[in-house]
Structure 1
Amino acid sequence: MTLENKVALVTGAGRGIGKGIATALAREGCHVALADINLTNAEQTAKEIAKLGVKTLPLKADISKSVEVDRMVSDTLAHFGQLDIAVNNAGIISIKSVNELTEEDWDTVNNVNAKGVFLCCKAEMKVMQASGGGRIINIASIAGKEGFPDLAHYCASKFAVVGFTNSLAKELKRSGITVNAICPGIVPTAMWYGPDGLAERWKLEGETMEESWQRHQDLLIPQGEGQTPEDMGQLAVYLANAEHVTGQAINVDGGFTFH
């Protein structure tokens, strides 16, 4: 499927991985609806992407709320008249041990990362079923395949995305809709490389955050360097084109994991 003049909806598109994926799709000729809980970020990304010669639509949406998800999808359809590709990227994280976690912490992360993907997929697939096909791409994580300390709640949410993706792909097997997940590795977004990120949390005594970041790249990634939002965009473009790849959770992690 050529991506020229297709319409993509990307959540969490205001920055980071979502912005990288939206930009990659736009370079292939996709018109893009950019949803984010921060409308200012979505608008800024939309302005940048519009310079590539495609149409854009910035949207504000909290994907943990069904009414906002339904409005996001209906606004995309009303503006562009179609929805061919949906990238459910929006997600959040907090870094706490299980002893530190509260019920609210658990619910907050899982309501966005797991429930949000469910709500988005349910609304998007209805539009795609009516049109005869499409591509759904959920953003999971290598933390959806392997546990990490201080991230039990986050890992649980991403394991849920991987399982949900595989299940939905099998439900939609003869619909013309493919459903896959991208599992990013260590990407220098706020999760890893920020004032409250993992590099800061896991730094050794006397180590700076930058030194911790470099050490974790050397220690965990066979290639020795973190991945980028642009790397995720490359895989998203492939999955948006692929007709016979479905139900997969594909790592982009420099060789960190193999399953």
Structure 2
Amino acid sequence: MDEPLKGRIAIVTGGARGIGRGIALELARAGADVLLADLLDAPLAKTANDVRELGRRAALAKVDVTQSAQVDAMIAQAIGELGGLDILVNCAGVISIHPVSELTEKDWDFVMDVNAKGTFLGCKAALPHLRAQRRGRIINVASIAGKEGFPNLAHYSASKFAVVGFTNALAKEVAREGITVNAICPGIVRTYMWDRLADEWKNAGESVEESWQRHQLTLIPQGRAQTPEDMGRLAVFFATMDNVTGQAVNVDGGFTFH
């Protein structure tokens, strides 16, 4: 089996379930050992076991990505327990659904802190190690909502626009230090977040499942949703490419153009 990432060590925040889990498993299939960081104990343990079943080492860290001390400790754990750090995937993210007229300061701060500040703290903590070894891959998980606004998701879109801009700017800062920085922009993926959206946006008399099916059939030109594994395959691409940096790539079945 081809293992282009054999011997590499990755961190995936938000790695317990959904897109983070899909990325972690694809990195493991490509040969990487993985530290999984999340606040969800049971799903985290399951994903770690699945990584190990692929023949890779897995470490677990309970991390609140909005707390710099915990993020710093996560980086140190990967280096101490797994022996290094080559790939950082900032995937931890949250969502809430409110029109701006009903959006509270607490709602705004929560989404911005996890999605934008969490990405910043992860990158900042990893940079000294990546710079010292003159090589590294940083992969931030943004969203198509980071390129196009959606009603009742202004705060979420703002956080993901921030991730896209931050990714491009940081890529230019470290471009001559052997470090690449890219972003994945998922489209419609059946995760906990999209179940909430399907529930919020269902028509009268429509079940969540019916709403989900309608959205993927009507919004996606390919007529089918994307998967966490799709995001993982793009993460493997970013992790193996030396000359791709500063990009925010959509994986959305043709839903968006830019």
Same fold per TM (> 0.5)?
Answer: yes
Please name the residue that 2:142 is paired with.
140
Please name the residue that 1:165 is paired with.
167
Q: 1:156 aligns with which of 146, 155, 158?
A: 158
TM-score scaled to structure 2, two decimals? 0.97
Structure 1 residues 46-55 or 171-180, which shifts more? 46-55
The alignment of Structure 1 onto Structure 2 pairs a total of residues equal to: 256
Could you report, residue by residue, the CA deviation over 1:70-112 in whole angstroms, capped at 9, with x for unpaired residues?
A: 0010111111221001110000111111122100000001000
| Paired letter, 1:125 | L
**Aligned-residue CA RMSD (Å):** 1.0
| Paired letter, 1:52 | L
Shift of 1:204: 1.3
| Paired letter, 1:38 | L
Shift of 1:218: 1.5
Could you report, residue by residue, the CA deviation over 1:190-222 in whole angstroms, capped at 9, with x for unpaired residues?
A: 1112xxx11111111122211111111122100
| Paired letter, 1:238 | F
Please name the residue that 1:114 is paired with.
116
What are the equivalent positions in structure 2 for 1:57-136 lying under 5 Å apart?
57-136=59-138
Please name the residue that 1:14 is paired with.
16
- Quick one: distance in 1 between partners of 2:130 and 2:193? 32
Residue 176 of structure 2 aligns to a residue whose secondary structure is coil
- Quick one: distance in 2 between partners of 1:48 and 1:28? 14
TM-score scaled to structure 1, two decimals? 0.97
- Quick one: distance in 2 between partners of 1:164 and 1:114? 9
Shift of 1:128: 0.5
Please, which runs of 5 or more residues in structure 2 have no aligned partner? none
- Quick one: distance in 2 between partners of 1:140 and 1:244? 20
Percent identity between the aligned chains? 61
Shift of 1:39: 3.1
Structure 1 residues 93-102 or 175-184, which shifts more? 93-102
Please name the residue that 1:247 is paired with.
246
Please, which runs of 5 or more residues in structure 1 have no aligned partner? none
Residue 150 of structure 1 aligns to a residue whose secondary structure is coil
